[in-house]
Structures are given as C-alpha cells and as structure tokens.
Structure 1
Amino acid sequence: MSDGALFRQDDDGTLVLEGNWLVSTVGEVDQSVRALDGEVRRVDLSGVEEIDTVGAYLAWSVAARHDASIEGADERATRLIEAVQSDEGEEIDVRAERAPVMQRVMGETGDKVINFGYGTRDMVGFFGAAISALGAVIRHPSRFRSKALVRQMELIGVSALGIVGLMSFLIGIVVAQQGAVQLRQFGAEIYTINLTGRLCLRELGVLMTAIMVAGRSGSAFAAQIGTMQLTEEVDAMRTIGISPMEALVVPRILAIVFMMPLLGFYASVMAIIGGAFVSSLTLGIPFATFLSRVQEVVPTYDLWVGLIKAPLFGLIIALTGCYQGMQVKGDSEQVGLRTTTAVVQGIFAVIVLDAFFAIFFSEVGWA
C-alpha cells in the first residue's frame, strides 16, 4: 500500500491517480497536478486506496479544468466528489477574496466606533453598579470591608511613595532646567520659580501621578480581578452570597479616590524640591529662597485645582481597571489583553479629562 498520493499521465490522455489522496498527502503533488498542461480526457480513480474531501476536490478540479470524465471511483469517492461540486459544475475557488483597502478601513473603523459605543454603555452601567454597591454598604456598615480598604490604600499610596517621589523630583529638575534655559534669553531666570511652582502644583504633579497610578494600580486591579474570574472565585463569591462589587470593587475605588489627592500633593512638593535643587546648582538661587518665593508667587487656587482633579482621576483609573478585570473570560491571554486595555484607557481618559479641566478652570478665572 502506498503511503502517499501518486499520479501518472498516460499517452491516451488518461490521468491515473494512485495511493492515498488525503489532506496529509496531497500537498506533495498538488502543484504538479494543477500544472498539468497535456491533454487529459479521463481521470482514473481505480488505483486510489483512500480519499477524503481534499483529495476528492483536487481530483474533481483537475477533471473540471480539462473537461475530462472521472472513472473508477468507488462509492466513497463518488459521494465526496458530488459533495464538492458546485451547482453549475464549475470549479470551486476556495481562496477568500480580500476586500479593497478602503472597504476594509471603513469596515474596521465602523467596528471600532460601534465597540466604543457598547464599551461606553457598559462602563456607565458598571459605574452605576458600583454606586449601588456603595449605597448598600452605607446602609449596612457591617458589610463594609475596612481591612480590604486599608490594604488597598497601602498598596496604592504608601508603596508608591518611592517611585512617585523619584519621578516627580526628576520632572521638577527637568522643568526648572529647561525653563531656565529659555528664560535666560530674556534675562528672566527668576521667573523659573513661577514656572516650576505653578506648573507642578497645577498640572504635572497630579497628572504624572495619575499616569503612574494607572500603570501601577490600574493594571493590578485588572490582573487581580481578571485572575479571580478565570479561577471562578468571583462566581464562588456570588454563590455564597457575597457581592463582588462590594468585596472587590468598592474598596479599590475608595482607596484610590482617598489616596490620589495625597499622592498628587506629595508629587507636587517633590517636583518643587527638584526645581529648587537644580536652581541652587545652576541659577545661583538659594534652596530656601526658591521655596519661600514659591509661596509668594503661586496662588492658592493652583493647589486647589490639582486637589480637585486628583480624586476624579483616581475614580476613572479604578473604574477602568475593575471593569476590565470583570470582563475577563475564556483563557489567561484575556488577562494580559484586559490589563493592557485598562492601562491604555485609564491614561487616555485621564489626559482627556485634564484637557476639559484646563478649559473649565480658564473659563471660571482660575487660569
């Protein structure tokens, strides 16, 4: 018995097929059979030992292309050949035709827009469920998980002090250094203090903190809850009467909302210290003078602008991370995909909201 698919072309125009014409074997002769250029009057299948749909299709397509008859087919081969024939008896093109570029672009754009609408709707619904769970906890304080809240505050706030402080300190150095270089052209290096103080307190402190928290805590929320979804811990909580929203989502939302103003203020202070440090080295402005001057030139409402934005940034980050974690289904790959989505969406939403805040505070005179 032959292990592969064989064929030969006789002088009388007969194409003789032999051996096993299966999906695992016809690949070796596919191109050769399709490239036959001599006259083929008959396709003889009497020597075929085993055949499947792929082999039957290849044999029939050769016969159809040369307008040849098929002979020697047993009952199975006949049934398979009839199955692969089209209604008109023409060759079947199994290759999918690719749509034009513009059609594909428009189709994918439409899918993205529709998915964005569905995602926004689901996110609003998730936010409503979180508010409902918070209301239930307020009505029944015994159900509030204070230990989980404290633990999340430690993870989000205390554990992040090092990286947030270092990042903010370096950003303060960069802002002061680059600002001084530009202001030196006009002999206005002293205004480096104004630039650094206002920019760090109003924008960079809380914004960079939010980006760091989104990458650090937002991703952790999505990964933790997503893993619990895969291991069916969330379903088990529902089975024993524990609300996942109350046990998992509410403590994380409250923790990040409470800690973001503190982290934002801490980041702003560290950025100003970084600016004072580089100014004392390059501009000759004493460290203490820089700090005291900041208190004189930076209006109080700049501090309030940063503190007002911080809890809202935290709320967006927590909602995005927890929502994406709850959407994990199927396999572990979903955890990675949802975690990445949580970080990207969280940072994007924070920057968009910050732009709206900038316009709003300009309109109310806090520019």
Structure 2
Amino acid sequence: MPEAAERAESAAPNAVFEKGADLATLRLTGSWRLASLARIAAQLEALQWPEKFAVDGSGVTEIDSAGALALLTQVDAHSRSPPQLTGFQANELRIVEQVRGRLEAARAPTRHHQERTLEMLGRRTIEVALSVVGDINFLGATVVGLGRSVIHP
C-alpha cells in the first residue's frame, strides 16, 4: 500500500515557478485531470505570477480539458500575451491547444432566447389544440369500443 500512496502523490498535479536569468518558468508535474481540479485551482491561485514566463509541461503525465482550462484561465489572467508552451507530450499539447482555441467561446455569455408574448401565446394555443384533438380521438375510440362491446358482447 505505501507504493500506491507514493504513486498517487507523484501523480498529484503540481505547479511551481522557477526563476531563470531572463524568464521564469512555470513547471507543471503530475496528472492534471478533473479529479484533481480543486487542488489544481488552489495551487495556481497561490502562485506569485511574474510578468513574463513560459510554461513547461515536461513533467505532466496526463491532462484533460478541465485541467487545461484551469491552467489557461490562470495563465491568461496573469499574462499579457500567451506564454510559450514547452515540454508537453504531443497528445497533452494538442489538448491544451484545443482548449486554448475555445477559451474565448467558453468565456462568452450564453444567449438565451426570450420568447415574446405573442409567440408564446401562439405556441401554447397550438399545444392545447393538439392536446384537445388527442383527447377527442381517445374519446371517440372509447365510444366506438364500448359500442362494439354492447353490440357484440
């Protein structure tokens, strides 16, 4: 069991800044998945973000769209331009880039169609009319069935 605990701890997502000569690097390690989203968000919010930085994903074992969204949301909030992404495996980089491409759409408010009064009245009238037709059809079928039962018991 201690091995399982060690694997779980090593797979836990982690993010730390390493200062470089001219550029800081955000080093990511572990599994950046939905199951660890609370930990990911807490770590990213606790960081002291420098003005310029790069993101190194060489230590990321796996990432899903939830982890990528949490990362990119914080990165976008703390940088003027998208930082360079380095070290990610091809599949992980593809996921991060797909989320990055849809980031603006995810932030856009959802537009809800508000039904106008006349539109609502017309739709509801049609619904009631169809319901009445169905009820009349049922009543007719019931009367015919009863009539047949009376004629041919």
Measured at CA, do residues 24 and 134 of structure 1 come closer, stay the same or move farther in structure 2, by a change above 3 Å? closer
For residues 327-353 of structure 1, what are the alpha-carbon distances to aligned partners after superposition, in whole Å with 9 as ceiling and x for unaligned?
Answer: xxxxxxxxxxxxxxxxxxxxxxxxxxx
Corresponding residue for residue 77 of structure 1: 92
Percent identity between the two aligned chains: 20
Change (3 A) 1:121 1:40: same
Gaps of 5+ in 1: 146-367
Q: Deviations over 1:215-241 (max 9, x none)?
A: xxxxxxxxxxxxxxxxxxxxxxxxxxx
* Alignment partners' CA distance in 1, 2:65 and 2:31: 12
Change beyond 3 A, Cα 1:111–1:23: farther
Scaled by the length of structure 2, what TM-score is found?
0.68
Match of 2:148 among 126, 135, 140: 140
Report if aligned partners of 2:27, 2:57 keep a CA contact under 8 Å in 1.
yes
* Number of aligned residues: 138
Secondary structure of the structure 2 residue equivalent to 1:48: strand
| C-alpha spacing 1:114/1:81, structure 2 compared with 1 (3 Å) | farther
* Cα distance in structure 2, aligned partners of 1:137 and 1:86: 63
1:17 aligned onto 2:28 = yes
CA contact (8 A) 1:45 1:73 kept: yes
SS in 1 for 2:29: strand
Query: TM-score when scaled to structure 1?
Result: 0.32
Is structure 2 residue 43 aligned with structure 1 residue 28? no
Partner of 1:45: 57
2:70 to 18, 35, 58: 58
Q: Which amino acid aligns with 1:81?
A: V
Which letter maps to 2:148? H
Contact 1:14–1:41 (CA<8 Å) still a contact in 2?
Answer: yes
- Residues 45 and 71 of structure 1 are in contact (CA less than 8 Å); yes or no, is this contact kept in structure 2? yes
Higher strand share goes to which structure?
A: 2
Q: CA deviation at 1:107?
A: 2.7
Match of 2:101 in 1: 86
Aligned residue runs from structure 1 range 196-275, under 5 A: none
CA shift for structure 1 position 140: 1.5
**Cα deviation code 1:221-270 (max 9, x no counterpart):** xxxxxxxxxxxxxxxxxxxxxxxxxxxxxxxxxxxxxxxxxxxxxxxxxx
- The amino acid that maps onto 1:23 is L
Deviation at 1:116, TM superposition (A): 2.1
Following superposition, the deviation at residue 117 of structure 1 comes to 1.9
- The structural deviation recorded for 1:15 is 0.6
Superposed CA RMSD:
3.4
Structure-2 change in CA distance of 1:29 and 1:131 (3 Å) = closer
What are the superposed Cα offsets for residues 266-309 of structure 1, whole Å, 9 maximum, x if unpaired?
Answer: xxxxxxxxxxxxxxxxxxxxxxxxxxxxxxxxxxxxxxxxxxxx
User: What's the CA shift string for 1:172-199, capped at 9, x where partnerless?
Assistant: xxxxxxxxxxxxxxxxxxxxxxxxxxxx
Partners of 2:63 and 2:95 in 1: CA distance: 9
Name the one with the larger helix percent: 1
Cα displacement (A) at 1:38: 2.0
Q: CA deviation at 1:118?
A: 3.3
> Amino acid of the residue matched to residue 89 of structure 2?
D
Q: Is the 8 A contact 2:33 2:67 kept in 1?
A: yes
